Amino acid sequence: MAAEGSDRQSPGQEVSPWSRPGVLLSGAFLLVLVLLGIVVAVSGGGARHRKTAVRAQIQTPAPAGASSTPSSSTACTLASGAQAVPSAGPPPARWGTVGAMEVPQSPGVYGPERTHGIWSTCFAHSPTGALLAAINFYAESTTGVSAEMVMKRYAVGAPSSMGNNEGLDGSGPVQLAGYRYVSYTPSQAEISIVLQGPQEKTLAVVTTMSWRGGDWKYVFPSGGMPSYEVIPDLTGYVPWGDF
């Protein structure tokens, strides 16, 4: 039985975001859901057991030319490094700002090795590289560029047009809260990424990353909607996000 206050949704179901009371999503948090095709009602959930200092939202303006197709970058050269899954605790990294999110970064070890304007690429061919690439994908969706541009740069299998899903100005911060590996092989990683929005609402989204062309890419769900779960706390997950 699911924990009280949690809400699970399968890819084949559709739920109106206004079908239940207590929907508390920031604009930035909603943007993440819109980019992935998720339509979700978040209600209840309880307070997290861990105190998290969430910074005020930081808006990063898109540089000139950001709306055009990103140019190909130089080939990635990071070594694959350790292949152990960091399930006992977060890997060593520093915090950097991408769009409206604070994200872990380790340019010389796990990635991103290359940053051009708002675009960060080249993550290590390892479990930790896949994790940082997945977190970076969500952060890029808060930079103000269109969903289509984010998907074109970071995803495989996404529709050619994302319609009118443009970047939104968030009404509150959204941050990384934790993660849990579902599975990992050198060619594909499946990781449940936990994001926290206002009122300490937490959503765990199963995120699939594929090793393609020398970097990790987000795999757009075939049904347009990944599996997710609204969770009351981080039990069973590796907490990551106190900064």
pLDDT at 174: 77
Please state the domain count of the chain.
1
* 85 burial level (CB within 10 Å; 0-12, 13-18, 19+): middle
Per-residue pLDDT tens listing for the chain (243 residues): 433 334 444 444 444 332 232 223 334 445 455 545 443 333 333 333 333 222 322 233 344 444 434 444 468 999 999 999 999 999 999 999 998 889 999 999 999 999 999 999 999 999 999 999 999 998 988 888 888 888 889 999 988 776 554 433 344 577 899 999 999 999 999 999 998 876 677 889 999 999 999 999 999 988 777 888 889 999 999 999 864
Q: Is residue 41 a contact partner of residue 18, using CB atoms and an 8 Å limit?
A: yes
Question: 67 in a domain, yes or no?
Answer: no
Q: Specify the amino acid at residue 190.
A: E
Please, how many CA atoms are within 13 Å of residue 220, restricted to the half-sphere of its CB? 20
Amino acid identity of residue 41, one-letter, is A
The answer to whether residue 86 is domain-embedded is no
CA atoms within 13 Å, Cβ hemisphere of 33 = 27
Asked, for residue 174, whether it belongs to a domain, the answer is: yes
Cα–Cα distance measured from residue 7 to residue 65, given in angstroms and rounded to the nearest whole number: 40
In this structure, are residues 58 and 200 in contact, taking their beta carbons and an 8 Å threshold? no
In a domain, residue 231? The reply is yes
In a domain, 41, yes or no: yes
Asked whether residue 84 is domain-assigned, the answer is: no
The angle that helices 147-154 and 127-140 make with each other, rounded to 10 degrees, is 160
Domain hosting 28: range is 7-60+91-239
* Confidence (pTM): 0.73
What per-residue confidence (pLDDT) applies to 162?
64
| Residues 33/56, Cβ–Cβ less than 8 Å | no
pLDDT value for 18? 22
For residue 111, which phi and psi values (nearest 5 degrees)? 110, 170
Q: Is residue 76 in a domain?
A: no
Residue 91 dihedral angles phi and psi, to the nearest 5°: -70, 160
Whether 83 is covered by a domain: the verdict is: no
pLDDT computed for residue 24 by the predictor: 31
Query: d(Cα 122, Cα 114) in Å, to the nearest integer?
Result: 6
Which residues touch 49 (CB under 8 Å, ≥6 apart)? 233, 234, 235
Helices (H), 75-165: 127-140, 147-154
